[in-house]
Amino acid sequence: MTDSMNRRIVLASRPTGAPTEQNFRLETVEKPTPQAGEVLLRTIYLSLDPYMRGRMSAAESYAAPVAIDDVMVGGTVCQVEESHNPEFAVGEWVLSYTTGWQSYSVSNGQGLLKLGMNPSHPSYALGVLGMPGFTAYMGLLDIGAPKAGETIVVASATGPVGATVGQIGKIKQCRVVGIAGGEEKCRHAVEVLGFDACIDHKADDFAEQLAKACPKGIDVYYENVGGKVFDAVMPLLNTGARIPVCGLISQYNATSLPDGPDRLSLLAGLILTKRIRMQGFIIFDDYGHRYGEFAKDMNQWVAEGKVQYREQIEQGLENAPSQLIGLLEGKNFGKLVIAVNKPL
């Protein structure tokens, strides 16, 4: 069954603080018609990721903001529904970063990553085998550079990045301590993902529990949340610790800096006296040329069951705004994906 119309979600207004559904608008427009050399892409899965909050703001960031009334950006897994390009067959699966939050789009093929005619888990290309997995892999291995026996700490332990960081850490024979919101996620991190421990950041004695779980301090803190987790991590950092910074989800909805004292010099002093390396990275900009390395290792680890992967698949493009809002509050459990259209 195919639609005659295209449904899309555009940015209606910029949020102040946490986004609300009013910042988005669902539109129904004509389904685009592919010209010679083009393909019509049918969106099957849309990925929801924390970085999208940044694109909703006009503030300078690592990527241009989405313009008001433009379709929200995002990674999608699509099928070719109609092809006027000899390089793409009808029914073929592709990963697209130019489609965004809509049910149909047209492409000349540029930038599409081919996933084959019958991939076993097409949506994995949005998670463990795609951008989040690649982010986990390069940030941990290249900047974090963990050595066997060291202690790695990562938050959002059941999210697609954190879960992968922790499992790679176990493959590299490290002690891995996760941080997650709530008992159920913590149990999953230990029992399914194989973390050595996982601390609930909602616990009153969170900082004490984290310290207890890291009796030899922290050698690699994979930063994806910031805020009170970073505060609890700071005093535990060992000399020579590495901090890859891939996200700061706890800060994305902040509208002002917290009250003082101003701890900027405290962080600089810690970096100096503990000889810490703290480094931000944007996965495709910094490591695009190393994608092959990642794809080879990760496909093998997933096939061998060394890396487990959990998805939360929600139905319907119209639910993407509320799901993204929930993601920013930590409500998802596993990689959040929107099922947009049924496969062909």
List interacting residues with a second copy (CB under 8 A): 54, 60-62, 223, 226-227, 230, 239, 245-248, 251, 254, 256-269, 271-282, 285-286
Nearer to a second copy, 9 or 155 (CB): 155
Least separation in angstroms between CB 237 and a second copy: 11
Token pair recorded at residue 318: 């119209």
Nearer to a second copy, 32 or 226 (CB): 226
Nearer to a second copy, 3 or 329 (CB): 329
Least separation in angstroms between CB 55 and a second copy: 12
Is the Cα torsion angle 55, 59, 63, 68 positive or negative in sign? positive
Least separation in angstroms between CB 317 and a second copy: 29
Nearer to a second copy, 63 or 313 (CB): 63
Nearer to a second copy, 274 or 310 (CB): 274
Nearer to a second copy, 91 or 227 (CB): 227
Report residue 98 CA to chain centroid gap: 17
Neighbours of 225 (CB within 10 A): 24
Question: Please, what is the angle between helix 291-303 and helix 131-138, to 10°?
Answer: 100
Least separation in angstroms between CB 233 and a second copy: 12
Least separation in angstroms between CB 267 and a second copy: 5
Least separation in angstroms between CB 296 and a second copy: 25
Least separation in angstroms between CB 314 and a second copy: 27
Nearer to a second copy, 110 or 273 (CB): 273
